[in-house]
Structure 1
Amino acid sequence: MKNANSCITLAVDQPLTPLALEQIAFGAAMQLSTGHWQAIARCRDFLQQLIQQKRRIYGVTTGYGPLANTYVDPEASAALQQGLVFHLSSGTGPLLSPIQTRAIMAARVATLARGHSAIRPEALKLVLDCLAHQLIPQVPAIGTVGASGDLTPLAHITLALMGQGQVWLKEQVMPAQEALAACGLTPLHPEGKDALALVNGTAAMTGIAALNACQAERLLELSLVLTGAYGEVLNGHLEALQPGLAILRPHAGQLWAQQQLLKICSDSQRLQPVTQPPPRLPEDLPSGRARHQQPLPQDAYTFRCAPQHLGAVKASVDFHQECVATELWSVTDNPLFLPETGEVLHGGNFFGQQIAFAADALNNALITLAVHSERRLARLTDVTLNQGLPPFLRGNQNGLHSGMMGAQVTATALVAEMRTQAHPASIQSIPTNANNQDVVTLGTLVARRCATSLERLSEVLAIESFALAQAIELRGGPEAGFSRSAQALHRRVRAISAPLEDDRPLAPDIQRLSQHWLLPDHGFV
């Protein structure tokens, strides 16, 4: 697994960032500072004092959910915690990927490390040991409504820590008990608030959303590069990228997109330069008459409105990123403990509405990136619109060979797939849990949907990037006046996929490119 030999050390006064979480998700180990362990032990000691005083503490000396009206003697602590994990381990559907599960584990550690959840240090250390040993629980994707956080997926993770269920150990599937033994780890026997601390919080939606945040930023930057190359292939106008447009409409995202597009296109010899003041009309234009079929002075919206579109997407990506970053720095279980003031606070920090709203907004932004990509691809492959390029970018023997005809249809189908997932989930509250959870957020459903949208978007962008590499060659090659950005794009595509000559199955090329664009460590602009 990537990053398997590296380690992320979390500082006590700094949050876990989405990028650091992504590194852990892709294989890096995770360490806490001495300050973290001191805070964790202090909070656990505070809980022990409360238990000895037989205080009423939800989930520790009471039952769960609507059964909190049952008081439980502390002597039954272990049975109470074990039962919580068992009854919540009821997920179904496909498994989350090992990368997603690692992200969830890292997000949960970041919350528990703050020292307000009263978990035993040895219980939290077991999570870190599993990350270090590449021991990853198998977690069904469906079962959480994102209200008391992500109870079901987190319970499946905790179940594996207890030596039950199935896990991946360095990508090999085996029983959890066997995997723990192979790593020299002792299964968890939860007591006190161990299980409740591990299962009660927004870690599943937040961990997946953090991965989405990183991938969304990369695919937005890729979309920017593809848009610039598209403009070059179709001899677009630099005028639409001028700073004055953003100055007069000062959205931060538009200003960013305007600056980035101008930067990557500034050395292009193919884009039409700005003429100020605008050129005069022909001297021989008859008085009171019109002259038709003259060159268009501006481009189709896929290029002319690119700063406005990509800028709006940037705003949604930034909103989502800020929300995720805040959630990674938050303590999201219940109850919470403040040893320094002697308070025990019962509340709703596990309620995932912020992530749900942000993920819905991101999902819609991702769909628009796919829509615009598909429209750019449609213009590139349509002989009536592509300014002299061959039909479907074949180049010769058109009709005998069909070029990118099938791939363009696939891009259309991918956009249709994404559009069916556009209805917001964050408003779809369904009461549950005997009306204890009478409103729910479905934040994890939205985060999972975003993850799927990112996969589909990467496939659309893979098809477009392949088409642009082909179009660049049909225009004379990357040295024929194309920008350094377009040349770099061409090199990256050709390092993975060969040019299209006679027809061949393009599914393997699309898959390789789409997976490549999703990987970490890409810098596009």
Structure 2
Amino acid sequence: MSLDQLRQLWLGAEARLDQAAMQRVAESAAAIERIVAGGETVYGVNTGFGLLANTRIPDDRLAELQTNLILSHSAGLGDPFPRHITRLMIVLKLLGLGRGHSGIRPLVIEALQRLLDADAMPLIPSQGSVGASGDLAPLAHLIAALMGYGRIDVAGDVTPAQAALQKLGLMPLQLGPKEGLALINGTQASAALALDALFQGERVFAAAVAAGALSVDALKGSAKPFDARLSALRGQPGQIRVAEAIADLLSGSEILTSHIACSRVQDPYSFRCQPQVMGAALDLLENAARTLTIEAAAVTDNPIVFADDDTANSGG
């Protein structure tokens, strides 16, 4: 998943897992079935959580275990996330689950996909999440809505979750072994918020570069500080690119040529040092972009399921 693809998803582009991803999901779910049938003890599948990790749960209560996990973590506070944040959360969740290492059934993917297709966004409180395993509370509220708890905004019409599910032709989700844990373990809420900040930051940055060039031109400043040779000697990638961008914007300016022979020695710092300042900001934006591009499609579940040898390993 490229940064540009993530940007398009942020803007509302359609998202759907392909058949290869759905096949991986099905194989992962089958591996969990075999693990449970074989009697192996696996954290979060047939054990308790946290301090109860060494407590074995009977097979006939595994679904109840997952249901209780979701409901007990649906403890967020505050105003709901904006719709576009919730939508991006769902998309990112699908990306991670589609890697096929979480042990959930395809029908769970289909339920999440139905929310996207119908523009149905669960109301997810924006405050109250903390946990080493990820965004437990926000993701719990997301899944609780599919189970019939909470409220869902269907294209602007906020209704109780059960009524919304009925309108969408969905039965309340009944979780299987590990599914609750797989669905709330993850960083999709944090990643959605971070990507939103990144993409808005990109827009602000582009506007700042344009405003900087306009300011130089309006105040009859010099284009000499944006000479590519100066930035090349400094060697900072962001500075080089910003200097090039401002030079391009000033190229052909009639105002600039009107005072080319003036006696001013140099412009104030705030004008001539724009590449250094904004270049540092660009470097930070690009570093954030690299990190988030990796995180967006990462498998942030625990334990991780490997269907090729029917193992579930805890590593997070």
In the superposition, the TM-score normalised over structure 2's length comes to: 0.95
C-alpha spacing 1:201/1:21, structure 2 compared with 1 (3 Å) = same
SS in 2 for 1:303: helix
Aligned 1:112-261 pairs, distance under 5 A: 112-261=97-246
68, 80, 87: which one aligns with 1:83: 68
Give the deviation of 1:25 after TM superposition.
4.4
Matched, 1:346 2:294: no
- Percent same amino acid among aligned pairs? 33
Contact 2:92/2:297 (8 A) holds in 1: no
Distance 1:113 1:101 in 2: 18
Aligned with 1:323 (options 291, 294, 308): 291
What residue is the counterpart of 1:266 in the other structure?
Answer: 251
> CA separation of 1:129/1:143 partners in 2, compared to 1, >3 Å: closer, same or farther?
same
Query: Which amino acid letter does the alignment assign opposite residue 309 of structure 1?
Result: V
- 2:278 aligned with 1:310, yes or no? yes
Secondary structure in structure 2 of the residue aligned to 1:114: coil
Q: How far is the alpha carbon of 1:19 from its aligned partner?
A: 4.1
Secondary structure of 1:337 counterpart: strand
Q: Tell me which of 105, 108, 114 is aligned to 2:93.
A: 108
Q: Distance in 2 between matches of 1:310 and 1:129?
A: 42
Q: How does 1:497-512 map to 2 (within 5 A)?
A: none
Inter-partner Cα distance in structure 1 for 2:10 and 2:264: 49
Partner of residue 49, structure 1: 34
Structure 2, gaps ≥5 residues long? none
Say which structure is richer in helix.
2
> Which amino acid is the alignment partner of residue 68 of structure 2?
G
Shift of 1:329: 2.5
CA contact (8 A) 1:18 1:214 kept: no
Give the deviation of 1:22 after TM superposition.
4.5
Partners of 2:289 and 2:226 lie apart in 1 by 26
User: How far did 1:195 drift?
Assistant: 1.2
- Aligned partner of 1:290 in structure 2 is none
Which deviations, in whole Å up to 9, do the C-alpha atoms of 1:196-242 show, x marking residues without a partner? 11111111111221222222112111110011111111111111111
Higher relative contact order at CA 8 Å, sep ≥6: structure 1 or structure 2? 2
Do the aligned residues in 1 keep the contact of 2:10 with 2:84 (CA within 8 Å)? Answer: yes
In structure 2, distance between residues paired with 1:246 and 1:20: 31
Other structure's SS at 2:256 match? coil
The answer as to 2:269 corresponding to 1:301 is: yes
> Does residue 335 in structure 1 map to residue 303 in structure 2?
yes
Q: Mark the CA change 1:105 to 1:303 in structure 2 (over 3 Å): closer, same or farther.
A: same
Distance 1:93 1:144 in 2: 11
Q: What one-letter code is carried by the residue in structure 2 that aligns with 1:96?
A: F
Q: Compute the RMSD of aligned alpha carbons.
A: 1.8
Question: Shift of the alpha carbon at 1:249?
Answer: 0.6
Q: Deviations over 1:241-284 (max 9, x none)?
A: 11011111111111111111111111112236897xxx9xxxxx
- Cα separation, 1, equivalents of 2:131 and 2:229: 44
- 1:164 is displaced (CA, Å) by 1.0
Distance 2:235 2:244 in 1: 12
The SS at the match of 2:148 is: coil
How many pairs are equivalent?
A: 316
- Partner Cα distance (1:268, 1:256) in 2: 20
Shift of 1:134: 0.5
Judge conservation of contact 2:47–2:56 (CA < 8 Å) in 1: yes
**Residue 142 of structure 1: CA displacement?**
1.0
Distance change >3 Å, CA 182–CA 18, structure 1 → 2: farther
- After superposition, the C-alpha distances for 1:409-439 in whole angstroms (9 at most, x for unaligned) are xxxxxxxxxxxxxxxxxxxxxxxxxxxxxxx
> What is the letter of the counterpart of residue 188 of structure 1?
L
What is the CA deviation profile of residues 157-181 of structure 1, one whole-angstrom value per residue up to 9, with x for unaligned ones? 0010111101110011111111111
The alpha-carbon deviation at position 99 of structure 1 amounts to 0.6
Greater C-alpha Rg: 1
Identify unmatched segments of 5+ residues in structure 1.
1-14, 280-293, 349-525
Output one character per residue of 1:15-37: Cα deviation in whole Å (capped at 9) or x when no partner.
Answer: 2x444344444444321111101
TM superposition shift of 1:345? 1.3
Contact 2:47/2:57 (CA < 8 Å) preserved in 1?
yes
Tell me the distance in 2 between the aligned counterparts of 1:160 and 1:243: 55
Q: Report 1:456-467 matches (<5 A).
A: none
Q: 1:70 Cα shift?
A: 1.4
